[in-house]
Chains A and B, each alone.
Chain A
């Protein structure tokens, strides 16, 4: 085995740990603070190659008219599609092709919070700063720290103020 092959193998292995750490962050601290009266779902186990493809899409996936990342075709990589929307809510979904119901490595992840996060803001169960901090941590993790979105502290503060008027 060449050193290039060894390096590639190590990278792919660390990809799996990296993607799982992102999903654990979304399922853990984010879900706890932002709530999940919409849906939180993880089905199947990621393969190393799928994880490597997810990282590729997180870094290079294209956007569309309302999603910051919308790459259902996989932008040249196979086996995964990914969607991220952060404006009036947080939508983060990804899926591998569902060939048959028994496909061993079919993976599906979905987390959407829209009702619960705004309910919590209105009820003062969380704050714009706390929500914005978690969103920024997520963006840092996926390698897009400067991505424009609609859940910044300023925008959320404006939302809460409008509610109080």
Chain B
């Protein structure tokens, strides 16, 4: 089981906007020779957002699991 599957379902809160999101998965973005990872978060209205991993680590806190 990958670590991405283990994390799936975690609930995050944006420290600044206070909005709540749930983690639904990860995706990769290739730019030049580098591949970046971003999380896919679902907001309370059911809309998906792309959050780059380092932005997630810095600006979101884990609230628990769904």
A-to-B contact residues, CB < 8 Å: 38-39, 41, 43, 65-67, 83, 85, 87-89, 91, 93, 95, 108, 110, 112, 114-115, 118, 122, 158-159, 162-163
Contact = CB atoms under 8 A, between A and B. Distances in A.
13 contacts: A38-B54, A66-B40, A66-B47, A87-B47, A87-B50, A89-B52, A108-B31, A110-B32, A112-B36, A114-B52, A114-B55, A115-B54, A115-B58
A66 B47 CA distance: 7
Q: Interface residues of B: mostly helix, strand, loop or mixed? A: strand
Given A39-B36, A41-B32, A95-B30, A163 B49 contact: no
A12 to B, nearest CB: 26
Contact of A163 (B17, B47, B48): B17
B34 interface: yes
Contacts of B34: 39
Given A95-B30, A122-B16, A158-B17, A88 B40 contact: no
